[in-house]
Structure 1
Amino acid sequence: EFIDQPHDDPWLLSVNIYDPHPPFIPPKIYADQFDKSEMPGPHFQNSDLELQRSLASVDFQGDPLPPEGHDAFQMQANYYAMIKQIDDQFNRIMQCLEATGQLENTVIIFTSDHGEAMGDHGLMQKGCRFYEGLVRVPLIFSWPGRFLQNVQRHALVELLDKTQTILDLAGIEQPEYSQGLSLLPLLTNETSDDHLRDFVRCEYFDALDP
């Protein structure tokens, strides 16, 4: 309805999707499309169990278990099913933009706040470990005719950069306190050096700690 209504000025729409998220219970119509026997399974080796136990005193992320202890293959199938549901609903937004003639003049950003362990290294959910599957999330930019298409960059970026990129697109000067960097050179210049910064910073804060 928001996309359909007339707009005299540029607009911004933020769609925050809760899933995929515990308890990983997708609608049956999607769950039936994914069989746990066809899942790739978690990244796991037996030494992960002892390693996670040794880290428990630093910060705790639940008891480490082998894949069968977490029913990791079924959880992965459920996770895929929830992603498929998101794909279908996101496609509705894309179709609406195209039907209303706005697709060519709309910047689309698709990302996530974090990944899920899904049995990797004996763990489930997110928590306090900074493994690749938890911190390397999708960050997809689309603007037909303006941004490079079908290009994957390997530069180290942060979600903070999303804000600065939007400000850059809008012609708004970056606030002094902002730590983000504009991604426009990576998005528009095919010959741009695939480098933005030397490192990224990740933090974990458990609001439930006493």
Structure 2
Amino acid sequence: MCGFVSMVGMGFGCFVGFIRRGGFGDALLDFMYSLRNYFDVFMHRLGLFDLTMEKGSGLIKELLSRSRFNEPFFMLINIMEAHSPYLPSDLGDDLYNSVIADWILNRGVDVDVVNALRLRYGLHAGFAVERAIEIVHDLSRYLDNTLFIVTSDHGELLGDGGLGHGYFLRNGLLRVPFWVRWPGWFRVPRQLDRS
């Protein structure tokens, strides 16, 4: 877990902890991920890489391409590409959060910012779907013996009934993708219509 935390800037403390416990391989991997994160932030600030679009699914694809699973396994992959921040100029989500705060406090909303967020959200959601398909494809050698479930924890409101996502029920939050693929050998039970 510590190694993955380092990707968001906690690298040195984890690195030292791994060394103290004798985990030199983990320490080296942690150090490499930390360097990569700093490089990605640097490239983002130069405008050469959009860190708001690529939020870790590329790393997941890399790890899966090097992994082989011989025993039964459970895997949960959380693709964050459809989550904020959306705007390349708003890496810390400050603008996004202030627009939501203004809406909550009924202080009006900057329509131009909401429109920019709406446009970028569509791009992010499309990218997340592409990455999910690529990841399922990368795991395709396990398809015949695997139950795959692809879904989302929530949608995002961008002026369509509110802003952001919170403790309220709206279509834009509830209507999310849901795809199930049963193992090839499993006979899917049919539900009876009891109406």
TM-score by length of 2: 0.49
Higher RCO (C-alpha under 8 Å, 6+ residues apart): 1
Which is helix-richer, 1 or 2? 2
